[in-house]
Amino acid sequence: MALHMKNIIEGYRQAINNDLEVIEILYTYKRLNILIFYHLHQALEKQLKMLYLDLKPEESTYSKIKKIGHSIEEISVELIILIGDEHIRAYKKFEVNDPVEYAKLVENIEFLKNTVKKENRIMRDNYVTNMHNYEAFLSNIYSKYEQYKLLLSSNKSAKPTVILSIGALLAISLFKMNNMPRYPEEDFNYQNLNILKSNIHLMPKLITIFKFWLDLIRSPNIDS
């Protein structure tokens, strides 16, 4: 990858960290501030642009990157699937001596890809129901956080599964907010705002997982 592209990707990483810092400040001093969700949305959008630049540099023209913010659901699904396929290929290259584990990885990745696609399809018709299920889903992922860290320290081949799991979590968390205005006002009329606010206590968990994801990879491609 060209040096200027790497510099752009690193710039996105720093910008994402800045958004997370703002989220933490807002959460600490005014937990129901709607701007928390705005900055989360912005961080997720930057994440998608960062991934797109790295995974599809040949298509990363200015106009394409600019459009990502306006088609963020479709890009989310596309990238989660692409990352899954990339890691299946990378895992096969380095772990062909263990066909059972490889088959298990492929099965898990395909399940996650299909889950993301399914969530995207049904979200608009089942928004409230899915929001109510969100806490259980996120809590389940977060409960594995320490386990993920242990796996990574003892088994490098666990890396692809962890990356995809967290990537899927972030994409699905975005779908939960897909009706939210791009630049919300404090008092805007948003029918699902109360649902979002009722789940505000999940924000520290999401920030923790987000930071773990950023620390985990400098690039979504396997390079070690």
**Average pLDDT for 76-94:** 63
Amino acid identity, position 60 = S
Over residues 64-82, the pLDDT tens digits come to 666 666 565 566 566 666 6
d(C-alpha 113, C-alpha 111), whole Å: 5
Tell me the per-residue pLDDT of 103-133, one tens digit each, with 9 for 90 and over. 776 776 677 667 666 665 655 555 555 545 5
The C-alpha R_g of the chain, in whole angstroms, comes to 17
What integer pLDDT is reported at residue 224 of this predicted model?
Answer: 36
pLDDT value, residue 189: 44
Query: Alpha carbon 135 to chain centroid distance?
Result: 16
Instruction: Give counts: helices (H), strands (E), the chain.
Output: 10, 0
% of the chain residues with pLDDT over 90: 0
Asked which of 65-74, 138-147, 170-179 is least confident by mean pLDDT, the reply is 170-179
User: Distance (Å, rounded) from C-alpha 54 to C-alpha 42?
Assistant: 19
